[in-house]
Structure formats: structure tokens, C-alpha cells
């Protein structure tokens, strides 16, 4: 009689609140500890390990090495981890742990899809992660990174990439279902694009996050991408005005006005 089979989902330690509630979900730390303690050493069911959020390719490689070393590779199959996240230049972040977009591709005219990839040490998880779901600010930031990456890759000439300054005119997110630390897809649809003037590109778009055949959130955004030289001077003048106003206000308070 063939052995039974089961799928275990492996998540990062930040999502322990999720894993503790579901017997088929383990943090990668717990799984590594169990493997090295011999818990899976006896012959038993066939296990497929599926990567969830918070697990990096390097950690997945380490897990595979431990599976091989303890001699259970014949009954413990690791599914491939998703592609690496996009480069920091495309998502406008300095640290790669904070990138949320992977496997970006075009799926039709004005339509783009990507995988959501949350690193265990993403900045938005460091000081706020409660309950089982992924907090909403991760969804908002993923939508922001998605419109940046799509614009940089598909609408900016290669020699001009990295030379635009992005300004959000409006951004509204509706949360429709909880997002959990499992695989999720982001779909980006361009509703309107004014790209005739390369000094200013303007877009209106919808960005949806899907998981388990449900839409978790929908973001409606309008934004412009200006050549940096055009906007930096304007930004500086407005910043100088704000500083001057604040200094005069402080001087007035000090003088008892």
C-alpha cells in the first residue's frame, strides 16, 4: 500500500501567529528544528513542502540541504520557491528585503501581473504583525511598488530609467478579504496613460491583489512621472517656503506674538 501524502506550507517566523493555528502550516524555523531533532526520521507519509510568505530562496536552499543531510529527501519534496524580487531600482527601495514584487510580466495590452513576495524582515513587519493576516499597509506598499515597476520597465525608455520622479495625485485602497502569508498575485491594469510628452508621463490604474481565487484588495491610483530636473527645483522651492514659514512662526512664538 503506498504511503499517504500531505502538503505542508512553510512561512517565515514573523507569521508564527498564522502557523500556530493551522496544523499544515509551519514556520521554517520550526521545520528545521523538527528535521534536525529526527522528528521525520522514521518512514511515513510523503510530504510536499510549499513556500509561503517570509521564506527567502537562501532559506529554501538551506532547508533542502538539511532534508538531504538527514536522509528524508526520498519522501520530502520541496516545491520551487518563487523568483527573486525585483531590483531595488525598479521598486524604488534601498534594501532588497523591502521589495515586494517578483516575476513581473505583461499579460496583455496595458495589463501586468506579478507575484507578491514578502521577506521575513520587510520593514513593515518589524514592529507590527498581529493575528493571522498580513497587515494592510503591506498591500498599499505593494501597489505602490507595482506601479513604479511597471512604469520603469514598460513605459520609460531604457536610457532614462531611474531618471523620473514619481508623484501620487490620488490613491485609494479598498480591502475586501483578508490577505494571509500564502502565495498571492498582483494584477495591474492601466486605465489611462498620457505618454506623449516624455518629460511628464501620467497614468490612472487599478491594482488588485488576489489570493485563493478571491480578490483581497483593490487600489485605484493616479500618478505622474516627471523628469527629475523638472520637479526637483519645484520641490526645493516649496520646501524652502515651508521652512521659512516654520522659522517665522517659531520666531513669533519666541517673541510672544
User: Domains of the chain by range and CATH?
Assistant: 5-78 (no CATH), 88-231 (3.10.129.10)
Per-residue model confidence (pLDDT) at position 1 = 40
Rounded Cα–Cα distance for residues 80 and 67 (Å): 15
Per-residue model confidence (pLDDT) at position 160 = 79
pTM score = 0.87
| Rounded-to-5 percentages of helix, strand, coil across the chain | 35, 30, 35
Is there a contact between 225 and 151 (Cβ–Cβ < 8 Å)?
A: yes
Starting at the edge strand found earlier in the chain, the sheet holding 76-78 runs 25-27, 5-11, 46-51, 76-78
Taking residues 77-91, what's their average pLDDT? Answer: 88
CA–centroid distance for 112 within its chain: 15
First-to-last C-alpha distance (Å) of the chain: 90
Going by pLDDT thresholds of 50, 70 and 90, the confidence category of residue 3 is low
H helices, E strands: number in the chain: 6, 10
Per-residue model confidence (pLDDT) at position 159 = 79
Q: What is the mean pLDDT of the chain?
A: 90
Better pLDDT: 85 or 208: 208
Judging by DSSP bridges, how do beta strands 76-78 and 214-227 pair with one another? unpaired
Amino acid at each position: 500500500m503506498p504511503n499517504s501524502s500531505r502538503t505542508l506550507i512553510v512561512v517565515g517566523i514573523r507569521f508564527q501567529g498564522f502557523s500556530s493555528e493551522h496544523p499544515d502550516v509551519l514556520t521554517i524555523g520550526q521545520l528545521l528544528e523538527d528535521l534536525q531533532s529526527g522528528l521525520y526520521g522514521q518512514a511515513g507519509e510523503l510530504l510536499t513542502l510549499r513556500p509561503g510568505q517570509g521564506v527567502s530562496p537562501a532559506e529554501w536552499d538551506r532547508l533542502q540541504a538539511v532534508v538531504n543531510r538527514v536522509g528524508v529527501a526520498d519522501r520530502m519534496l520541496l516545491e520551487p520557491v518563487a523568483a527573486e524580487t525585483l531590483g531595488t531600482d525598479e521598486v524604488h527601495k534601498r534594501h532588497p528585503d523591502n521589495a515586494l514584487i517578483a516575476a513581473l510580466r505583461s499579460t496583455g495590452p496595458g495589463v501586468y501581473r506579478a507575484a507578491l513576495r514578502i521577506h521575513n524582515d520587510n520593514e513593515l513587519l518589524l514592529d507590527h504583525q498581529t493575528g493571522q493576516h498580513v497587515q494592510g499597509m503591506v498591500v498599499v506598499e505593494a501597489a505602490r511598488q507595482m506601479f513604479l515597476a511597471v512604469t520603469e520597465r514598460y513605459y520609460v525608455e531604457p536610457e532614462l530609467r531611474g531618471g523620473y520622479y514619481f508623484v501620487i495625485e490620488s490613491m485609494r485602497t479598498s480591502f475586501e478579504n483578508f490577505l494571509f502569508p500564502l502565495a498571492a498575485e498582483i494584477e495591474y491594469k492601466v486605465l489611462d496613460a498620457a505618454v506623449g510628452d516624455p518629460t511628464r508621463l501620467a497614468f490612472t490604474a487599478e491594482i488588485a491583489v488576489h489570493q485563493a481565487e478571491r480578490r483581497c484588495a483593490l487600489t485605484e491610483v493616479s500618478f505622474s512621472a516627471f523628469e527629475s530636473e523638472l520637479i526637483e527645483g519645484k520641490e526645493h522651492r516649496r520646501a524652502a517656503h515651508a521652512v521659512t514659514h516654520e522659522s517665522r512662526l517659531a520666531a513669533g512664538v519666541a517673541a510672544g506674538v
